[in-house]
Structure 1
Amino acid sequence: MRRRTTLAIAAIAALTTLVGGCSSSKDSGSASSNSNDSSASKVTGTITVLAAASLTESFDTIAKSFEKANPGTTVKISYGGSSALAEQINQDAPVDVFASASTKNMTAVTDTGKAETPTTFVQNKMQIAVPASNPAKITKLADLAKPDVKVALCQPQVPCGVTAAKVFTNAGLKVTPVTLEQDVKSTLTKVELNEADAAVVYVTDVKAAGDKIKGIEIPDDVNATTDYPIATMKKAPNADGAKAFMDYVLSADGIKVLEKAGFAKP
């Protein structure tokens, strides 16, 4: 009798082990299925970005790296003055990500409910740009106030124009430009073509111009800076792609590209 009882207990134990094994196998299969689902939802498609003109070289580099890291994606970037880009967004242009050279222009978008909460990712400051030969012999900020010096500036509503105006106010200078351009790249081009003796632009744009342009420092006590916020749009056509691209810009790799270009931490 005792032998039969022992055998019965052994049989129950074996059956329990078998059922437990089947259950474990099923759970494992479910985890594998979830893993496959995650892989299937990776970022794809076109990601539309509007970015300040001063971000051109940096964002072109970041976009290429992002596309390489995310096969099947295409980052389409349109550059321009932040004020004009904000206006496009508020007129319902289909955009995934907006990177502005000014908190004011980003606020113009967030106030209408178009964008998610922005993150300030870099900062920029101003510098005098002159042709490599410097024909007007400009050596300091005060030289830009001379009546015979042709100065190019950004339009007053554009961040580079707003920030340059702060510099002149800080220095107590009145500068009359010969041209007001729609963004920082257009302003710098006037100097590159020798159509202007000087321009006040971002340090990053002077650096990006290479040998064609000479930069003249503006003293820190009168210089001015601007913050760069970035945000995804609430109705982004490619919401997953928008978040992934913004995260990449904010990553160590993205910030490294920006700092190499001359941008500073905010």
Structure 2
Amino acid sequence: MTRSARRTRRTVQVVGATAAALLALSACSSDSGSDASPGSGSGEKSGGTEKLSGTVNVFAAASLTESFTELGEEFEKQHPGTKVVFNFGGSDSLAAGITSGAPADVFASASPKTMKVVTDADAASGTPATFVRNRLEIATLPGNPDKIATLKDLTGSGLKVVLCDKSVPCGAAAQKALDASKLKLTPVSYEEDVKSALNKVVLKEADAALVYKTDVKAAGDKVEGVEFPEAADAVNDYPITLLKDAPNAEVGRAFIELVRSAEGQKVLTEAGFTAP
């Protein structure tokens, strides 16, 4: 073999070895990068799934207390490192708090009207979605000692009846049902939210109250529920939204996904809500 041929062969061997080394280095770099994908916001990706962490503040209508508490506990089990903090109350006061700057991630209202307060203030992120519906029922003392069978029976003299304030969804729905029936009812008190109205009956401070079916169910044997056909004229849609200035938007979004999932809907329908 000539000197020139030997030089050419040596050059090819060096180039080949260098190329092989570069390919091996590239493969190692690629594998290393896939294992250390950086997270974003409040989540870190681990094993191909996003790990959520931190506190999510949920403002929700009082009638959602039992079902959302259950969903909150389930959410924390599914996402260790998260904590769901609820603020339950009248939808109107919750909306006022949000528009005044109260720190919250999610708002679940008992009516589109109170949700509109938030959207009109440009405080919602995206378009709110209706996730359940609810209807009214008459809550009476256990055993229904006054034999209340119809909405008209509530107008009888001597009965102490409680309504939600007209500014909150349960009060607006009650007024709508009464108007549809052409009935006038003067309650002994107007309460700030549905739980307060129901509690008047539970404590035997009132003979009856117009509340949601879900609240009657949640009270168990502390009250007795009476259905009435006019309730069909006052069904409330419940919208939910992520808030624009949510301190923990990723976790808030995940909580909304649970509420709207088949699992969340099962919890809500078992509580007496109906699907949208």
Q: How does 1:54-65 map to 2 (within 5 A)?
A: 54-65=63-74
Rounded to whole Å, the distance in 1 between the matches of 2:129 and 2:155 is 37
Whether the aligned pair in 1 keeps the contact of 2:71 and 2:259 (CA below 8 Å) is yes
Partner of 2:36: 33
Q: How does 1:110-121 map to 2 (within 5 A)?
A: 110-117=119-126, 118-121=128-131
Whether the aligned pair in 1 keeps the contact of 2:177 and 2:231 (CA below 8 Å) is no
Equivalent pairs: percent with the same residue?
48
How many Å apart are 1:223 and its aligned residue? 3.9
Partner of 1:82: 91
Could you tell me the TM-score, scaled by structure 2's length? 0.88
SS in 2 for 1:156: coil
Whether the aligned pair in 1 keeps the contact of 2:135 and 2:232 (CA below 8 Å) is no
Deviations 1:181-207 (A, max 9, x none): 000000001111222121111110011
Whether the aligned pair in 1 keeps the contact of 2:90 and 2:192 (CA below 8 Å) is yes
Deviations 1:196-240 (A, max 9, x none): 121111110011010111111111675420111111211112222
Query: Per the alignment, do residues 132 and 145 of structure 1 end up closer, same or farther by CA in structure 2, a change over 3 Å counting?
Result: same
Whether the aligned pair in 1 keeps the contact of 2:217 and 2:271 (CA below 8 Å) is yes
Partner of 2:56: 47
Partner of 2:23: 20
Could you tell me the TM-score, scaled by structure 1's length? 0.91
How many Å apart are 1:64 and its aligned residue? 0.7
Deviations 1:99-155 (A, max 9, x none): 110111111011111121211111101111111121211111221121222211000
Rounded to whole Å, the distance in 2 between the matches of 1:221 and 1:67 is 36
Deviations 1:77-112 (A, max 9, x none): 111100011111111111111111011111101111
Q: What is the CA RMSD across the aligned residues, in angstroms?
A: 2.3
Whether the aligned pair in 2 keeps the contact of 1:86 and 1:109 (CA below 8 Å) is yes
Whether the aligned pair in 2 keeps the contact of 1:115 and 1:233 (CA below 8 Å) is yes
Instruction: Please tell me the residue identity of whatever aligns with 2:221.
Output: D
Partner of 1:158: 168
Whether the aligned pair in 1 keeps the contact of 2:137 and 2:231 (CA below 8 Å) is no
Gap regions ≥5 residues in structure 2: none
How many Å apart are 1:32 and its aligned residue? 1.4
Partner of 2:272: 262
Rounded to whole Å, the distance in 2 between the matches of 1:249 and 1:171 is 34
Partner of 1:137: 147
Q: Which moved more, 1:240-249 or 1:36-45?
A: 36-45
Partner of 1:72: 81
2:118 aligned to which of 109, 114, 117: 109
Q: Does 1:100 align with 2:106?
A: no
Gap regions ≥5 residues in structure 1: none
Instruction: Please tell me the residue identity of whatever aligns with 1:75.
Output: V
Partner of 2:217: 207
How many Å apart are 1:247 and its aligned residue? 1.9
In the comparison of the two structures, how many residue pairs are matched?
266
